[in-house]
Amino acid sequence: MPTDARRRDGGERSEVWSEVCVIGSGPRGLSLLERLTASAGRLRARGARLRVHLVDPRPGSGHVWRSDQSEQLLMNTVTSQVTLFTDDSVRMEGPVVPGPSLHAWAADPHTRAQSGLPAGEAGPGADGYPTRALFGRYLEWVLRSLVRRGTAEIVTHAARAVRLDDEPDGRQRVRLENGTVLGGLDAVVLAQGHLPVSPTPGEAALTSFARDRGLLHLPPGNPADAVLDGIEPGRTSCCAVSA
């Protein structure tokens, strides 16, 4: 892996860094960050250190799982089956660094207090369906816990990545929407999750069909972003779920 040799004022070689950029701070991006911080000791054993740039307008939860969305929106997985950490049941090459599942985290008074959750309030239970906002707060806590590990330098950038280029030496460069350029990157990971997409011809036809008849058609998308103002109370509606 290419490395960046930093020097002291006297020109003496000091620390050697490996630089990684993770674009996307949702569950997949944070799972990768957890594995990177867990394995960073292997780099340190070879005399190198790891710096990870985490790029997302909402570092921690990402957009889909943001912690300020409606508490009425639920996940489709029960609380005890959600985690961003590993245990002895995982077959992998990297080290096991245990951490709480969403259920254990939500039931622990200490971690609840760290995330600003009301004391004494009952969680959703091991077999209950948590809110999407609660999962967002769990993700934000996970990011803070990974920073506290101290095995890697984690730099968060609350911005969108808008350009990715190769550099002459084989490394890569990422430009952010605020003009920041992250150069000399040994690896760039695109963990963008669900991105906005243009409607398919079929979806566009349904929207046009509904509009021509004074109806409202909502195409597939993130429920927290759906604009429901056009649906009056008591109005008949239907929901179609495609496999």
Domain ranges of the chain: 4-190, 197-243
> Cα–Cα distance between 203 and 216 in angstroms, integer?
12
- Specify whether the CB–CB gap between 132 and 61 falls below 8 A: no
Mean pLDDT for each consecutive 10-residue tract of the chain (243 residues)? Answer: 42 75 97 96 85 96 93 94 94 92 91 77 84 95 96 97 97 98 97 86 90 85 81 79 54
| Dihedral (Cα; 73, 66, 196, 84), 10-degree rounding | -100
> Cα–Cα distance between 149 and 48 in angstroms, integer?
17
Q: Which of 177, 151, 149 is nearest to 163 (CA)?
A: 177
- pLDDT, position 28: 96
Q: Give the DSSP letter of residue 126.
A: T
Length in residues, the chain: 243
- pLDDT, position 219: 82
- Specify whether the CB–CB gap between 43 and 19 falls below 8 A: no
Helices (H), 173-217: 201-212
Q: Which amino acid is at 79?
A: T
> Cα–Cα distance between 59 and 160 in angstroms, integer?
11
- pLDDT, position 9: 41
**Which strands form 181-185's sheet, in the order they lie side by side?**
161-166, 172-176, 181-185
- pLDDT, position 2: 43
> Cα–Cα distance between 215 and 178 in angstroms, integer?
40
> Cα–Cα distance between 133 and 54 in angstroms, integer?
21
Helix H or strand E segment including 186: none
Number of H helices and E strands in the chain, helices first, is 5, 8
Q: Which of 200, 140, 13 is nearest to 4 (CA)?
A: 13
Q: Which of 53, 49, 28 is nearest to 40 (CA)?
A: 49
In terms of CATH architecture, what is 4-190? 3-Layer(bba) Sandwich (3.50)
- pLDDT, position 10: 44
